[in-house]
Amino acid sequence: MPADLPKTIGTPAPLIYDLTFDGKLWGEERNRSVILALYDTAGENLGNPDVARRMVQYLRIASGVMFLIDPLQVETVRQLVPRETLPPVDPLGDPCRIIGNVFQELENSKVVAKNEPLSIPVAVVLTKCDVLRERGLIELNRLWNSDQRHVRAYDTAYHNDMNGMMGEYVHQWSEKAFSTVRSRFSRHAFFGVSATGCASDPK
Protein backbone atom coordinates (compact mmCIF):
# COMPACT_ATOMS: atom_id res chain seq x y z
CA MET A 1 0.00 0.00 0.00
CA PRO A 2 1.50 3.38 -0.96
CA ALA A 3 2.52 5.70 1.87
CA ASP A 4 0.87 8.72 0.25
CA LEU A 5 -2.66 8.69 -1.10
CA PRO A 6 -3.14 10.27 -4.55
CA LYS A 7 -4.61 13.74 -4.70
CA THR A 8 -8.26 14.06 -5.60
CA ILE A 9 -8.70 14.60 -9.32
CA GLY A 10 -11.22 17.23 -10.35
CA THR A 11 -13.50 19.29 -8.15
CA PRO A 12 -16.24 17.48 -6.22
CA ALA A 13 -19.80 18.75 -6.15
CA PRO A 14 -21.14 20.23 -2.89
CA LEU A 15 -22.38 17.86 -0.20
CA ILE A 16 -26.05 18.62 0.51
CA TYR A 17 -27.83 17.54 3.69
CA ASP A 18 -31.44 18.05 4.79
CA LEU A 19 -31.36 18.32 8.59
CA THR A 20 -34.40 18.21 10.87
CA PHE A 21 -34.27 19.22 14.53
CA ASP A 22 -36.84 18.17 17.11
CA GLY A 23 -37.83 20.73 19.71
CA LYS A 24 -40.39 23.16 21.03
CA LEU A 25 -41.34 26.66 19.95
CA TRP A 26 -43.59 28.73 22.23
CA GLY A 27 -44.52 25.58 24.11
CA GLU A 28 -45.52 23.59 21.03
CA GLU A 29 -43.72 20.64 19.51
CA ARG A 30 -42.08 21.86 16.31
CA ASN A 31 -39.67 20.35 13.83
CA ARG A 32 -37.19 22.73 12.28
CA SER A 33 -35.51 21.93 8.99
CA VAL A 34 -32.46 23.38 7.35
CA ILE A 35 -30.62 22.54 4.14
CA LEU A 36 -26.88 22.36 4.71
CA ALA A 37 -24.70 22.55 1.59
CA LEU A 38 -20.96 22.08 2.10
CA TYR A 39 -18.50 22.96 -0.64
CA ASP A 40 -14.95 21.87 0.05
CA THR A 41 -11.93 22.95 -1.94
CA ALA A 42 -8.20 22.96 -1.26
CA GLY A 43 -6.22 26.18 -1.20
CA GLU A 44 -4.11 25.14 -4.17
CA ASN A 45 -7.26 24.89 -6.29
CA LEU A 46 -7.50 28.67 -6.27
CA GLY A 47 -4.66 28.71 -8.77
CA ASN A 48 -7.03 27.16 -11.30
CA PRO A 49 -9.18 29.97 -12.83
CA ASP A 50 -12.11 27.64 -13.55
CA VAL A 51 -12.18 26.30 -9.99
CA ALA A 52 -11.77 29.80 -8.56
CA ARG A 53 -14.74 31.10 -10.55
CA ARG A 54 -16.88 28.19 -9.42
CA MET A 55 -15.91 28.81 -5.81
CA VAL A 56 -16.90 32.47 -6.07
CA GLN A 57 -20.34 31.44 -7.34
CA TYR A 58 -20.89 29.51 -4.12
CA LEU A 59 -19.45 32.30 -1.97
CA ARG A 60 -21.98 34.74 -3.42
CA ILE A 61 -24.78 32.85 -1.66
CA ALA A 62 -22.84 31.26 1.20
CA SER A 63 -24.16 31.58 4.75
CA GLY A 64 -20.66 31.07 6.13
CA VAL A 65 -17.05 30.31 5.23
CA MET A 66 -14.65 28.03 7.10
CA PHE A 67 -10.87 28.25 6.72
CA LEU A 68 -9.02 25.12 7.90
CA ILE A 69 -5.51 26.20 8.83
CA ASP A 70 -2.71 23.70 9.46
CA PRO A 71 -0.61 25.35 12.20
CA LEU A 72 2.31 23.08 11.33
CA GLN A 73 2.66 25.10 8.12
CA VAL A 74 3.20 28.32 10.11
CA GLU A 75 6.92 29.09 10.36
CA THR A 76 6.74 30.26 13.99
CA VAL A 77 5.12 26.98 15.03
CA ARG A 78 7.52 24.89 12.95
CA GLN A 79 10.42 26.37 14.92
CA LEU A 80 8.85 25.13 18.17
CA VAL A 81 8.04 21.57 17.07
CA PRO A 82 10.60 18.74 16.67
CA ARG A 83 11.56 18.23 13.05
CA GLU A 84 10.48 14.57 12.99
CA THR A 85 6.92 15.65 13.83
CA LEU A 86 6.65 18.18 11.01
CA PRO A 87 5.03 17.52 7.63
CA PRO A 88 6.79 18.79 4.49
CA VAL A 89 6.46 22.51 3.85
CA ASP A 90 3.48 23.31 1.65
CA PRO A 91 4.22 26.52 -0.29
CA LEU A 92 0.46 27.09 -0.52
CA GLY A 93 -0.22 26.32 3.14
CA ASP A 94 0.58 29.72 4.61
CA PRO A 95 -2.63 31.05 6.22
CA CYS A 96 -2.08 34.58 4.96
CA ARG A 97 -1.75 33.27 1.42
CA ILE A 98 -4.87 31.10 1.69
CA ILE A 99 -7.00 33.95 3.04
CA GLY A 100 -5.46 36.42 0.60
CA ASN A 101 -6.24 34.18 -2.39
CA VAL A 102 -9.88 33.91 -1.39
CA PHE A 103 -10.20 37.65 -0.92
CA GLN A 104 -8.50 38.33 -4.24
CA GLU A 105 -11.12 36.23 -6.02
CA LEU A 106 -13.93 37.92 -4.12
CA GLU A 107 -12.67 41.37 -5.08
CA ASN A 108 -12.03 40.39 -8.69
CA SER A 109 -15.60 39.09 -8.97
CA LYS A 110 -17.08 42.18 -7.27
CA VAL A 111 -18.51 40.08 -4.42
CA VAL A 112 -16.87 42.48 -1.99
CA ALA A 113 -15.65 46.01 -2.63
CA LYS A 114 -11.89 46.51 -2.66
CA ASN A 115 -10.48 46.95 0.84
CA GLU A 116 -13.93 46.45 2.39
CA PRO A 117 -14.59 43.69 4.97
CA LEU A 118 -16.65 40.62 4.13
CA SER A 119 -19.90 40.39 6.11
CA ILE A 120 -20.39 36.61 5.70
CA PRO A 121 -19.61 34.80 9.00
CA VAL A 122 -16.14 33.26 8.88
CA ALA A 123 -14.63 30.53 11.05
CA VAL A 124 -10.84 30.25 11.19
CA VAL A 125 -10.14 26.72 12.40
CA LEU A 126 -6.76 25.50 13.63
CA THR A 127 -6.34 21.78 12.95
CA LYS A 128 -4.01 19.26 14.66
CA CYS A 129 -4.48 20.83 18.07
CA ASP A 130 -3.60 17.51 19.71
CA VAL A 131 -0.09 17.83 18.27
CA LEU A 132 0.17 21.37 19.62
CA ARG A 133 -0.96 20.17 23.04
CA GLU A 134 1.49 17.26 23.10
CA ARG A 135 4.32 19.66 22.27
CA GLY A 136 3.30 22.09 25.02
CA LEU A 137 2.04 24.82 22.68
CA ILE A 138 -1.49 24.51 24.10
CA GLU A 139 -1.42 24.20 27.88
CA LEU A 140 -3.26 21.25 29.43
CA ASN A 141 -5.39 23.53 31.61
CA ARG A 142 -6.68 25.57 28.69
CA LEU A 143 -10.30 25.48 27.58
CA TRP A 144 -9.70 23.42 24.43
CA ASN A 145 -8.71 20.41 26.56
CA SER A 146 -11.98 20.37 28.51
CA ASP A 147 -14.85 18.10 27.48
CA GLN A 148 -17.52 20.81 27.43
CA ARG A 149 -20.57 20.40 25.23
CA HIS A 150 -23.37 22.56 23.87
CA VAL A 151 -26.50 21.01 25.43
CA ARG A 152 -29.97 22.01 24.16
CA ALA A 153 -28.64 25.35 22.92
CA TYR A 154 -25.47 26.94 21.61
CA ASP A 155 -23.40 28.14 24.57
CA THR A 156 -22.31 31.64 23.59
CA ALA A 157 -20.13 32.05 26.69
CA TYR A 158 -18.22 28.89 25.76
CA HIS A 159 -17.99 30.13 22.17
CA ASN A 160 -16.55 33.47 23.28
CA ASP A 161 -13.98 31.75 25.51
CA MET A 162 -12.90 29.43 22.68
CA ASN A 163 -12.73 32.31 20.21
CA GLY A 164 -10.60 34.37 22.58
CA MET A 165 -8.22 31.53 23.39
CA MET A 166 -7.64 30.40 19.80
CA GLY A 167 -7.44 33.99 18.61
CA GLU A 168 -4.70 34.54 21.17
CA TYR A 169 -2.70 31.62 19.76
CA VAL A 170 -3.14 32.82 16.17
CA HIS A 171 -1.96 36.27 17.23
CA GLN A 172 1.15 34.76 18.85
CA TRP A 173 2.05 32.53 15.91
CA SER A 174 1.03 34.70 12.95
CA GLU A 175 0.27 38.30 13.78
CA LYS A 176 -0.19 39.08 10.09
CA ALA A 177 -2.86 36.38 9.67
CA PHE A 178 -4.60 37.56 12.83
CA SER A 179 -4.65 41.17 11.62
CA THR A 180 -5.89 40.08 8.18
CA VAL A 181 -8.82 38.20 9.69
CA ARG A 182 -9.70 41.08 12.00
CA SER A 183 -9.59 43.68 9.23
CA ARG A 184 -11.12 41.73 6.32
CA PHE A 185 -13.94 39.80 8.06
CA SER A 186 -16.47 41.78 10.07
CA ARG A 187 -17.96 38.61 11.58
CA HIS A 188 -15.33 36.04 12.49
CA ALA A 189 -14.33 33.57 15.18
CA PHE A 190 -11.37 31.29 15.90
CA PHE A 191 -11.72 27.59 16.72
CA GLY A 192 -9.48 24.59 17.32
CA VAL A 193 -10.10 21.00 16.26
CA SER A 194 -8.39 17.63 16.31
CA ALA A 195 -9.09 14.30 14.64
CA THR A 196 -8.35 12.60 17.97
CA GLY A 197 -10.70 14.70 20.11
CA CYS A 198 -10.04 17.55 22.53
CA ALA A 199 -9.91 15.95 25.98
CA SER A 200 -6.49 14.56 26.87
CA ASP A 201 -6.28 10.81 27.51
CA PRO A 202 -6.21 10.24 31.30
CA LYS A 203 -4.23 7.03 30.72
| pTM given for the model | 0.77
| pLDDT confidence of residue 123 | 92
| pLDDT confidence of residue 163 | 92
Neighbours of 47 (CB within 10 A): 10
Region for residue 136 given its phi and psi (left: phi exceeds 0; alpha: psi -120 to 50; beta: otherwise):
left
* Residue 202, domain member (yes or no): no
Question: Tell me, what amino acid is at 92?
Answer: L
Q: What is the pLDDT of residues 146-190, one digit of tens each?
A: 666 767 777 888 888 889 989 999 999 999 999 989 998 999 999
Q: What is the pLDDT of residues 75-98, one digit of tens each?
A: 999 999 988 888 888 877 788 887
Mean pLDDT of the chain: 78
* Residue 143, domain member (yes or no): yes
Distances from the Cα of 88 to the Cα of 75, 81, 148, angstroms? 12, 13, 33
* Residue 171, domain member (yes or no): yes
User: Which residues span the domain enclosing 84?
Assistant: 42-192
Total domains in the fold of the chain: 1
* Residue 118, domain member (yes or no): yes
* Residue 199, domain member (yes or no): no
* Residue 186, domain member (yes or no): yes
pLDDT at 139 over 70: yes
Distances from the Cα of 99 to the Cα of 45, 149, 150, 157, 171, angstroms? 13, 29, 29, 27, 15
Q: Are 90 and 147 in contact (CB under 8 A)?
A: no
Give the torsion sign (CA, 192, 120, 63, 56).
negative
pLDDT at 115 over 70: yes
* Residue 130, domain member (yes or no): yes
Maximum Cα interatomic distance, the chain, rounded to a whole number of Å: 58
Eight-state DSSP code of residue 172:
H
* Residue 27, domain member (yes or no): no
Q: CA-CA distance, 34 to 56, in Å (whole number)?
A: 22
